[in-house]
Chains A and B, each alone.
Chain A
Amino acid sequence: MTSGSRTKRAGAFADALGRLQRDGGALLVVGATPGNTHERACSRMLGSSDQPRVVCRTDGSCSAGVTGAGPNDRLIDLAVDARSATASVGTGHDGAVPGAAAGEGATRTVVETPAEFGARAAEAVAELTSEADDPRVCVDSLLPLIEELGEERAFEWYHAIAADVRAAGGVCHAHLPVDRDDDLVTRFEALADATVVLRLADNEPQQRWFVHGSVTSDWLSLQE
Protein backbone atom coordinates (compact mmCIF):
# COMPACT_ATOMS: atom_id res chain seq x y z
CA MET A 1 0.00 0.00 0.00
CA THR A 2 1.33 3.44 -0.87
CA SER A 3 1.64 6.10 1.79
CA GLY A 4 -0.88 8.18 -0.17
CA SER A 5 -3.61 5.54 0.00
CA ARG A 6 -2.76 4.85 3.64
CA THR A 7 -3.20 8.55 4.43
CA LYS A 8 -6.45 8.65 2.51
CA ARG A 9 -7.76 5.64 4.44
CA ALA A 10 -6.69 7.16 7.76
CA GLY A 11 -8.60 10.31 6.83
CA ALA A 12 -11.72 8.35 5.88
CA PHE A 13 -11.47 6.42 9.15
CA ALA A 14 -11.15 9.62 11.18
CA ASP A 15 -14.25 10.98 9.41
CA ALA A 16 -16.21 7.78 10.12
CA LEU A 17 -15.15 7.84 13.77
CA GLY A 18 -16.18 11.49 14.01
CA ARG A 19 -19.63 10.62 12.62
CA LEU A 20 -20.04 7.81 15.12
CA GLN A 21 -19.15 10.10 18.00
CA ARG A 22 -21.37 12.89 16.74
CA ASP A 23 -24.43 10.84 15.80
CA GLY A 24 -24.09 8.01 18.29
CA GLY A 25 -23.62 4.33 17.62
CA ALA A 26 -23.03 0.86 18.91
CA LEU A 27 -19.74 -1.02 18.80
CA LEU A 28 -18.89 -4.69 19.10
CA VAL A 29 -15.45 -5.31 20.55
CA VAL A 30 -14.15 -8.76 19.64
CA GLY A 31 -11.01 -10.84 19.89
CA ALA A 32 -9.97 -13.75 22.07
CA THR A 33 -6.93 -11.89 23.27
CA PRO A 34 -4.98 -12.59 26.44
CA GLY A 35 -4.09 -9.99 29.02
CA ASN A 36 -5.74 -6.65 29.43
CA THR A 37 -6.37 -5.83 25.77
CA HIS A 38 -10.13 -5.57 26.20
CA GLU A 39 -9.68 -3.49 29.31
CA ARG A 40 -7.46 -1.04 27.46
CA ALA A 41 -9.91 -0.71 24.60
CA CYS A 42 -12.74 -0.28 27.07
CA SER A 43 -11.09 2.55 28.92
CA ARG A 44 -10.65 4.48 25.66
CA MET A 45 -14.21 3.88 24.51
CA LEU A 46 -15.80 4.80 27.81
CA GLY A 47 -14.14 8.19 27.75
CA SER A 48 -13.27 10.24 30.79
CA SER A 49 -14.51 9.15 34.18
CA ASP A 50 -15.63 12.75 34.73
CA GLN A 51 -18.53 12.25 32.37
CA PRO A 52 -21.59 10.20 33.31
CA ARG A 53 -21.31 6.62 32.17
CA VAL A 54 -23.27 3.42 32.55
CA VAL A 55 -21.33 0.21 32.99
CA CYS A 56 -23.24 -3.06 32.74
CA ARG A 57 -21.03 -5.71 34.27
CA THR A 58 -21.45 -9.41 33.77
CA ASP A 59 -17.98 -10.61 34.66
CA GLY A 60 -16.29 -7.57 36.12
CA SER A 61 -13.67 -7.29 33.39
CA CYS A 62 -14.50 -3.71 32.44
CA SER A 63 -11.90 -1.02 33.05
CA ALA A 64 -14.41 0.94 35.13
CA GLY A 65 -14.37 -1.77 37.74
CA VAL A 66 -14.60 -1.23 41.42
CA THR A 67 -11.42 0.78 41.56
CA GLY A 68 -11.77 2.51 38.21
CA ALA A 69 -15.29 3.84 38.62
CA GLY A 70 -15.73 7.58 38.35
CA PRO A 71 -17.94 9.69 40.58
CA ASN A 72 -20.76 9.89 38.05
CA ASP A 73 -20.72 6.29 36.97
CA ARG A 74 -23.67 4.00 37.30
CA LEU A 75 -22.55 0.42 37.73
CA ILE A 76 -25.09 -2.30 37.16
CA ASP A 77 -23.95 -5.78 38.09
CA LEU A 78 -25.55 -9.01 36.99
CA ALA A 79 -25.02 -11.59 39.70
CA VAL A 80 -24.75 -14.44 37.21
CA ASP A 81 -22.90 -16.63 39.64
CA ALA A 82 -25.28 -16.24 42.20
CA ARG A 83 -28.42 -16.56 42.23
CA SER A 84 -26.07 -16.83 44.80
CA ALA A 85 -25.61 -15.82 47.97
CA THR A 86 -22.27 -14.26 47.56
CA ALA A 87 -23.20 -11.49 45.20
CA SER A 88 -26.10 -10.32 47.23
CA VAL A 89 -24.72 -10.41 50.69
CA GLY A 90 -23.53 -7.04 51.82
CA THR A 91 -24.11 -5.33 48.49
CA GLY A 92 -27.71 -4.46 48.98
CA HIS A 93 -28.74 -6.62 46.09
CA ASP A 94 -31.59 -5.40 43.98
CA GLY A 95 -30.92 -1.92 45.14
CA ALA A 96 -28.80 1.09 44.39
CA VAL A 97 -25.78 1.17 46.60
CA PRO A 98 -23.76 4.36 46.62
CA GLY A 99 -20.42 4.26 48.33
CA ALA A 100 -16.76 3.63 48.29
CA ALA A 101 -17.01 0.02 47.20
CA ALA A 102 -18.37 1.21 43.88
CA GLY A 103 -15.97 4.09 43.49
CA GLU A 104 -16.55 7.33 45.38
CA GLY A 105 -19.90 8.75 44.38
CA ALA A 106 -20.66 6.03 41.86
CA THR A 107 -23.93 4.20 42.13
CA ARG A 108 -23.96 0.44 42.03
CA THR A 109 -26.97 -1.77 41.53
CA VAL A 110 -26.89 -5.54 41.73
CA VAL A 111 -29.60 -7.52 39.98
CA GLU A 112 -30.25 -11.22 39.61
CA THR A 113 -32.02 -11.64 36.30
CA PRO A 114 -30.93 -10.55 32.83
CA ALA A 115 -34.38 -9.01 32.24
CA GLU A 116 -34.03 -6.84 35.30
CA PHE A 117 -30.45 -6.09 34.25
CA GLY A 118 -31.82 -4.79 30.95
CA ALA A 119 -34.54 -2.77 32.65
CA ARG A 120 -32.12 -1.08 35.08
CA ALA A 121 -29.72 -0.36 32.22
CA ALA A 122 -32.55 1.24 30.21
CA GLU A 123 -33.48 3.42 33.17
CA ALA A 124 -29.86 4.44 33.75
CA VAL A 125 -29.45 5.34 30.07
CA ALA A 126 -32.68 7.37 30.19
CA GLU A 127 -31.46 9.24 33.28
CA LEU A 128 -28.09 9.81 31.71
CA THR A 129 -29.66 11.16 28.56
CA SER A 130 -31.45 13.82 30.53
CA GLU A 131 -28.13 14.89 32.05
CA ALA A 132 -25.62 14.46 29.25
CA ASP A 133 -25.64 14.71 25.48
CA ASP A 134 -23.10 11.99 24.99
CA PRO A 135 -23.84 8.99 27.17
CA ARG A 136 -21.19 6.29 27.22
CA VAL A 137 -22.19 2.74 27.98
CA CYS A 138 -20.19 -0.46 28.33
CA VAL A 139 -21.35 -4.06 28.53
CA ASP A 140 -18.28 -5.80 29.83
CA SER A 141 -18.93 -9.19 28.28
CA LEU A 142 -21.81 -10.64 26.34
CA LEU A 143 -20.64 -14.21 26.93
CA PRO A 144 -22.24 -14.72 30.37
CA LEU A 145 -25.51 -13.33 28.99
CA ILE A 146 -25.35 -15.68 26.01
CA GLU A 147 -24.71 -18.57 28.37
CA GLU A 148 -27.55 -17.51 30.65
CA LEU A 149 -30.16 -16.60 28.05
CA GLY A 150 -29.17 -18.26 24.80
CA GLU A 151 -28.06 -16.38 21.72
CA GLU A 152 -31.39 -15.03 20.56
CA ARG A 153 -32.41 -13.48 23.86
CA ALA A 154 -28.92 -12.09 24.45
CA PHE A 155 -29.15 -10.58 20.96
CA GLU A 156 -32.45 -8.95 21.91
CA TRP A 157 -30.93 -7.76 25.17
CA TYR A 158 -28.03 -5.96 23.49
CA HIS A 159 -30.28 -4.55 20.81
CA ALA A 160 -32.39 -2.85 23.45
CA ILE A 161 -29.34 -1.25 25.09
CA ALA A 162 -27.72 -0.27 21.80
CA ALA A 163 -30.91 1.23 20.36
CA ASP A 164 -31.53 3.34 23.47
CA VAL A 165 -27.99 4.69 23.48
CA ARG A 166 -27.93 5.33 19.74
CA ALA A 167 -31.25 7.20 19.99
CA ALA A 168 -29.69 9.35 22.72
CA GLY A 169 -26.75 10.20 20.48
CA GLY A 170 -24.34 8.28 22.69
CA VAL A 171 -21.90 5.49 22.09
CA CYS A 172 -22.09 2.04 23.63
CA HIS A 173 -19.83 -0.90 23.26
CA ALA A 174 -20.11 -4.55 24.19
CA HIS A 175 -17.26 -7.00 24.58
CA LEU A 176 -17.46 -10.35 22.86
CA PRO A 177 -14.09 -11.97 23.56
CA VAL A 178 -14.12 -14.54 20.75
CA ASP A 179 -12.37 -14.64 17.38
CA ARG A 180 -13.80 -12.49 14.65
CA ASP A 181 -14.65 -15.45 12.44
CA ASP A 182 -16.89 -16.94 15.13
CA ASP A 183 -20.55 -17.12 14.04
CA LEU A 184 -21.49 -15.25 17.18
CA VAL A 185 -19.66 -12.20 15.89
CA THR A 186 -21.46 -12.30 12.54
CA ARG A 187 -24.81 -12.36 14.31
CA PHE A 188 -24.10 -9.66 16.86
CA GLU A 189 -22.49 -7.42 14.25
CA ALA A 190 -26.01 -6.84 12.95
CA LEU A 191 -26.59 -4.74 16.07
CA ALA A 192 -23.44 -2.68 15.76
CA ASP A 193 -22.29 0.22 13.61
CA ALA A 194 -18.69 -0.89 13.84
CA THR A 195 -16.74 -3.95 14.88
CA VAL A 196 -13.48 -3.40 16.72
CA VAL A 197 -11.11 -6.35 16.50
CA LEU A 198 -8.39 -6.65 19.12
CA ARG A 199 -5.16 -8.61 18.96
CA LEU A 200 -1.74 -8.90 20.49
CA ALA A 201 1.05 -8.48 17.93
CA ASP A 202 4.50 -9.06 19.41
CA ASN A 203 2.98 -8.40 22.80
CA GLU A 204 1.62 -5.07 21.62
CA PRO A 205 -2.16 -4.67 22.01
CA GLN A 206 -3.67 -3.49 18.73
CA GLN A 207 -7.12 -2.64 17.41
CA ARG A 208 -8.63 -2.60 13.97
CA TRP A 209 -11.96 -0.92 13.24
CA PHE A 210 -14.45 -2.15 10.68
CA VAL A 211 -16.98 0.66 10.33
CA HIS A 212 -19.90 -1.13 8.72
CA GLY A 213 -20.65 -0.05 5.19
CA SER A 214 -17.84 2.45 5.33
CA VAL A 215 -14.16 2.06 6.07
CA THR A 216 -11.66 -0.31 7.66
CA SER A 217 -8.77 1.08 9.64
CA ASP A 218 -5.21 -0.15 9.74
CA TRP A 219 -4.05 -2.07 12.78
CA LEU A 220 -3.58 0.65 15.38
CA SER A 221 -1.71 0.50 18.63
CA LEU A 222 -3.81 0.51 21.80
CA GLN A 223 -1.91 2.82 24.09
CA GLU A 224 -2.56 2.69 27.82
Chain B
Amino acid sequence: MPVVERMSESACGAALVVGGSERERERWRTALVDLVSTEAVADGAEALTCIDEGVEVLVVHRDLPDREASELIATVRDRGFSVRAVLLSPERPEGDVVAQGFDAWLQTPVEADLLVRTVEGLLACRRYDRAIADLYELASEHAGREADTLTVRERIHEARSEADAALAAVETIDREALLANSPAAFSEGGQ
Protein backbone atom coordinates (compact mmCIF):
# COMPACT_ATOMS: atom_id res chain seq x y z
CA MET B 1 0.00 0.00 0.00
CA PRO B 2 1.59 3.28 -1.02
CA VAL B 3 2.27 5.80 1.68
CA VAL B 4 0.72 9.15 0.85
CA GLU B 5 1.77 11.81 3.25
CA ARG B 6 -0.93 13.95 4.86
CA MET B 7 -3.71 12.74 2.63
CA SER B 8 -6.41 10.15 2.50
CA GLU B 9 -6.08 7.36 -0.06
CA SER B 10 -8.86 8.70 -2.20
CA ALA B 11 -8.17 12.40 -2.15
CA CYS B 12 -5.19 13.47 -4.18
CA GLY B 13 -4.52 17.18 -4.10
CA ALA B 14 -4.34 19.66 -6.93
CA ALA B 15 -0.56 19.67 -6.72
CA LEU B 16 1.51 16.57 -6.12
CA VAL B 17 5.08 16.64 -4.87
CA VAL B 18 7.05 13.56 -5.90
CA GLY B 19 10.47 12.51 -4.61
CA GLY B 20 13.19 14.24 -2.64
CA SER B 21 13.96 13.43 0.98
CA GLU B 22 11.12 13.27 3.47
CA ARG B 23 12.21 16.58 4.94
CA GLU B 24 12.38 18.24 1.51
CA ARG B 25 8.97 16.94 0.53
CA GLU B 26 7.42 18.29 3.67
CA ARG B 27 9.10 21.68 3.15
CA TRP B 28 7.83 21.92 -0.44
CA ARG B 29 4.36 20.73 0.51
CA THR B 30 4.13 23.26 3.34
CA ALA B 31 5.29 26.05 1.02
CA LEU B 32 2.53 25.25 -1.48
CA VAL B 33 -0.37 24.36 0.71
CA ASP B 34 -1.62 27.95 1.11
CA LEU B 35 -1.75 28.29 -2.67
CA VAL B 36 -3.23 24.97 -3.62
CA SER B 37 -4.19 21.70 -2.02
CA THR B 38 -0.91 19.79 -2.07
CA GLU B 39 0.14 16.27 -1.24
CA ALA B 40 3.52 14.54 -1.28
CA VAL B 41 4.69 11.04 -2.17
CA ALA B 42 8.10 9.44 -2.19
CA ASP B 43 8.36 7.93 -5.64
CA GLY B 44 6.86 7.46 -9.09
CA ALA B 45 4.89 4.33 -8.24
CA GLU B 46 3.10 6.10 -5.40
CA ALA B 47 2.45 9.07 -7.64
CA LEU B 48 0.83 6.87 -10.28
CA THR B 49 -1.30 5.15 -7.66
CA CYS B 50 -2.72 8.29 -6.17
CA ILE B 51 -2.95 10.65 -9.12
CA ASP B 52 -6.42 11.61 -10.27
CA GLU B 53 -8.03 14.25 -12.42
CA GLY B 54 -7.83 16.80 -9.63
CA VAL B 55 -4.05 16.96 -9.87
CA GLU B 56 -3.03 19.84 -12.08
CA VAL B 57 0.64 20.31 -11.26
CA LEU B 58 3.42 17.83 -10.55
CA VAL B 59 6.49 18.96 -8.62
CA VAL B 60 9.03 16.25 -9.32
CA HIS B 61 12.53 15.79 -7.96
CA ARG B 62 15.12 14.73 -10.51
CA ASP B 63 16.35 11.70 -8.55
CA LEU B 64 13.32 9.50 -8.15
CA PRO B 65 14.22 6.11 -6.70
CA ASP B 66 12.23 4.07 -9.19
CA ARG B 67 12.30 5.83 -12.57
CA GLU B 68 13.38 8.87 -14.52
CA ALA B 69 11.43 12.00 -13.67
CA SER B 70 10.62 12.60 -17.35
CA GLU B 71 9.36 9.01 -17.65
CA LEU B 72 6.90 9.66 -14.82
CA ILE B 73 5.54 12.76 -16.56
CA ALA B 74 5.16 10.87 -19.85
CA THR B 75 3.35 7.99 -18.11
CA VAL B 76 0.97 10.36 -16.33
CA ARG B 77 0.09 12.03 -19.65
CA ASP B 78 -0.20 8.68 -21.43
CA ARG B 79 -2.83 7.75 -18.87
CA GLY B 80 -4.85 10.75 -19.92
CA PHE B 81 -4.12 13.17 -17.09
CA SER B 82 -3.51 16.76 -18.14
CA VAL B 83 -0.79 18.12 -15.92
CA ARG B 84 1.85 20.80 -15.93
CA ALA B 85 5.15 19.89 -14.32
CA VAL B 86 8.16 21.48 -12.69
CA LEU B 87 11.46 19.65 -12.24
CA LEU B 88 13.47 20.19 -9.05
CA SER B 89 17.14 19.52 -9.50
CA PRO B 90 20.31 20.28 -7.53
CA GLU B 91 22.05 21.20 -10.78
CA ARG B 92 21.16 22.49 -14.23
CA PRO B 93 19.44 19.66 -16.10
CA GLU B 94 21.05 18.29 -19.21
CA GLY B 95 19.18 19.04 -22.40
CA ASP B 96 15.97 20.95 -22.95
CA VAL B 97 13.56 20.47 -20.05
CA VAL B 98 10.59 21.57 -22.17
CA ALA B 99 11.37 18.81 -24.68
CA GLN B 100 11.48 16.40 -21.73
CA GLY B 101 7.91 17.35 -20.86
CA PHE B 102 8.58 19.85 -18.08
CA ASP B 103 7.26 23.38 -18.10
CA ALA B 104 9.96 24.73 -15.82
CA TRP B 105 12.84 23.68 -13.61
CA LEU B 106 14.10 25.02 -10.29
CA GLN B 107 17.41 24.49 -8.61
CA THR B 108 17.36 22.95 -5.15
CA PRO B 109 17.50 24.08 -2.44
CA VAL B 110 14.63 26.24 -3.64
CA GLU B 111 13.21 29.30 -1.90
CA ALA B 112 9.58 28.82 -0.89
CA ASP B 113 8.52 32.05 -2.66
CA LEU B 114 10.05 30.95 -5.94
CA LEU B 115 8.40 27.54 -5.74
CA VAL B 116 5.04 29.16 -5.03
CA ARG B 117 5.39 31.64 -7.92
CA THR B 118 6.37 28.85 -10.30
CA VAL B 119 3.44 26.63 -9.36
CA GLU B 120 1.17 29.66 -9.58
CA GLY B 121 2.41 30.13 -13.17
CA LEU B 122 1.69 26.49 -13.98
CA LEU B 123 -1.82 26.75 -12.54
CA ALA B 124 -2.33 29.74 -14.85
CA CYS B 125 -1.20 27.52 -17.75
CA ARG B 126 -3.79 24.92 -16.72
CA ARG B 127 -6.55 27.54 -16.64
CA TYR B 128 -5.52 28.50 -20.15
CA ASP B 129 -5.44 24.84 -21.26
CA ARG B 130 -9.05 24.48 -20.19
CA ALA B 131 -10.22 27.77 -21.67
CA ILE B 132 -8.65 27.19 -25.08
CA ALA B 133 -9.94 23.58 -25.17
CA ASP B 134 -13.46 24.88 -24.47
CA LEU B 135 -13.15 27.43 -27.25
CA TYR B 136 -11.86 24.84 -29.72
CA GLU B 137 -14.65 22.45 -28.83
CA LEU B 138 -17.24 25.15 -29.33
CA ALA B 139 -15.71 26.18 -32.65
CA SER B 140 -15.58 22.55 -33.80
CA GLU B 141 -19.19 21.93 -32.81
CA HIS B 142 -20.24 24.44 -35.37
CA ALA B 143 -17.82 23.56 -38.13
CA GLY B 144 -19.74 22.44 -41.19
CA ARG B 145 -22.98 23.95 -39.95
CA GLU B 146 -24.55 27.33 -40.31
CA ALA B 147 -22.67 28.95 -37.48
CA ASP B 148 -23.38 32.55 -38.06
CA THR B 149 -26.25 32.93 -35.65
CA LEU B 150 -26.26 35.48 -32.89
CA THR B 151 -26.35 32.87 -30.12
CA VAL B 152 -23.41 30.93 -31.52
CA ARG B 153 -21.41 34.08 -32.04
CA GLU B 154 -22.12 35.22 -28.51
CA ARG B 155 -21.07 31.88 -27.02
CA ILE B 156 -17.88 31.85 -29.06
CA HIS B 157 -17.13 35.45 -28.16
CA GLU B 158 -17.60 34.71 -24.49
CA ALA B 159 -15.38 31.61 -24.64
CA ARG B 160 -12.74 33.58 -26.51
CA SER B 161 -12.79 36.35 -23.93
CA GLU B 162 -12.20 33.76 -21.23
CA ALA B 163 -9.28 32.28 -23.16
CA ASP B 164 -7.86 35.79 -23.73
CA ALA B 165 -8.03 36.53 -20.01
CA ALA B 166 -6.48 33.17 -19.10
CA LEU B 167 -3.64 33.78 -21.55
CA ALA B 168 -3.01 37.25 -20.13
CA ALA B 169 -2.27 35.61 -16.78
CA VAL B 170 0.46 33.44 -18.31
CA GLU B 171 3.90 35.05 -18.27
CA THR B 172 5.54 35.44 -21.68
CA ILE B 173 8.47 33.44 -20.40
CA ASP B 174 6.20 30.42 -20.02
CA ARG B 175 4.89 30.68 -23.58
CA GLU B 176 7.14 28.07 -25.17
CA ALA B 177 6.27 25.50 -22.53
CA LEU B 178 2.62 26.54 -22.72
CA LEU B 179 2.48 25.62 -26.40
CA ALA B 180 4.88 22.66 -26.34
CA ASN B 181 3.22 20.87 -23.43
CA SER B 182 -0.38 21.68 -24.28
CA PRO B 183 -2.70 18.79 -23.35
CA ALA B 184 -3.70 18.66 -27.03
CA ALA B 185 -0.15 17.51 -27.77
CA PHE B 186 -0.67 14.39 -25.69
CA SER B 187 -4.29 13.61 -26.40
CA GLU B 188 -5.41 10.94 -28.83
CA GLY B 189 -4.75 12.30 -32.28
CA GLY B 190 -2.35 14.90 -30.93
CA GLN B 191 0.84 15.26 -32.89
Give residues in A with beta carbon < 8 Å to B: 113-116, 118-119, 122-123, 126, 148-150, 152-153, 155-157, 159-160, 163-164, 166-167, 183-184, 186-191, 212-213
A-B contact pairs, 23 of them (CB 8 A): A113-B180, A115-B176, A115-B178, A118-B176, A119-B172, A123-B175, A148-B191, A149-B185, A149-B191, A152-B184, A153-B179, A153-B184, A153-B191, A156-B136, A156-B182, A157-B179, A163-B167, A164-B167, A183-B143, A186-B147, A187-B139, A190-B159, A212-B153
Residues of B within 8 A of A115 (CB): 98, 176-180
Question: Given that A118-B179, A153-B191 are contacting pairs, would A159 and B135 also be in contact in the complex, using a CB cutoff of 8 Å?
Answer: yes
- For the complex with contacts A152-B136, A159-B163, 12 further pairs of A-B residues with Cβ separation under 8 Å are A114-B179, A115-B98, A118-B178, A119-B175, A122-B175, A123-B175, A153-B179, A167-B164, A167-B168, A186-B143, A186-B144, A186-B147
Asked whether, in the complex, the Cβ of B136 is within 8 Å of the Cβ of A155, the reply is: yes
Asked whether, in the complex, the Cβ of A160 is within 8 Å of the Cβ of B190, the reply is: no
Question: Given that A187-B136, A187-B143 are contacting pairs, would A213 and B157 also be in contact in the complex, using a CB cutoff of 8 Å?
Answer: yes
- Interface of chain B residues 17 through 61 with chain A (CB within 8 A): none
Asked whether, in the complex, the Cβ of A213 is within 8 Å of the Cβ of B153, the reply is: yes
Chain A facing B: main interface SS: helix
Residue B156 interfacial (CB < 8 Å): yes
Residues of B within 8 A of A166 (CB): 164
Asked whether, in the complex, the Cβ of A190 is within 8 Å of the Cβ of B156, the reply is: yes
Question: Given that A123-B172, A148-B191 are contacting pairs, would A159 and B132 also be in contact in the complex, using a CB cutoff of 8 Å?
Answer: yes
Residues of B within 8 A of A114 (CB): 179
* Chain A residue at minimal CB-CB distance from B167: A163
Residues of A within 8 A of B98 (CB): 115
Question: Given that A156-B136, A187-B143 are contacting pairs, would A150 and B160 also be in contact in the complex, using a CB cutoff of 8 Å?
Answer: no
Residue B67 interfacial (CB < 8 Å): no
CA distance A184 to B139 in the complex (A): 10
Task: Tell me the smallest distance from the CB of A218 to a CB of chain B, in Å.
Answer: 18
Asked whether, in the complex, the Cβ of B190 is within 8 Å of the Cβ of A153, the reply is: yes
CA distance A166 to B161 in the complex (A): 11
**Tally of contact residues, B, Cβ under 8 A:** 37
* Nearest 3 pairs of A and B residues by beta carbon: A115-B180, A190-B139, A119-B176
Residues of B within 8 A of A184 (CB): 143
* Chain B residue at minimal CB-CB distance from A26: B160
Task: Tell me the smallest distance from the CB of B146 to a CB of chain A, in Å.
Answer: 10
Asked whether, in the complex, the Cβ of B139 is within 8 Å of the Cβ of A122, the reply is: no
Asked whether, in the complex, the Cβ of B179 is within 8 Å of the Cβ of A163, the reply is: no
Asked whether, in the complex, the Cβ of B191 is within 8 Å of the Cβ of A163, the reply is: no
Residue B142 interfacial (CB < 8 Å): yes
Task: Tell me the smallest distance from the CB of B169 to a CB of chain A, in Å.
Answer: 11
CA distance A137 to B138 in the complex (A): 26
Asked whether, in the complex, the Cβ of B179 is within 8 Å of the Cβ of A186, the reply is: no
CA distance A115 to B136 in the complex (A): 18
Asked whether, in the complex, the Cβ of B164 is within 8 Å of the Cβ of A116, the reply is: no
Task: Tell me the smallest distance from the CB of B184 to a CB of chain A, in Å.
Answer: 4
Residue B109 interfacial (CB < 8 Å): no
CA distance A189 to B135 in the complex (A): 11
Residues of A within 8 A of B132 (CB): 155-156, 159
Residues of A within 8 A of B179 (CB): 114-115, 118-119, 153, 156-157, 160
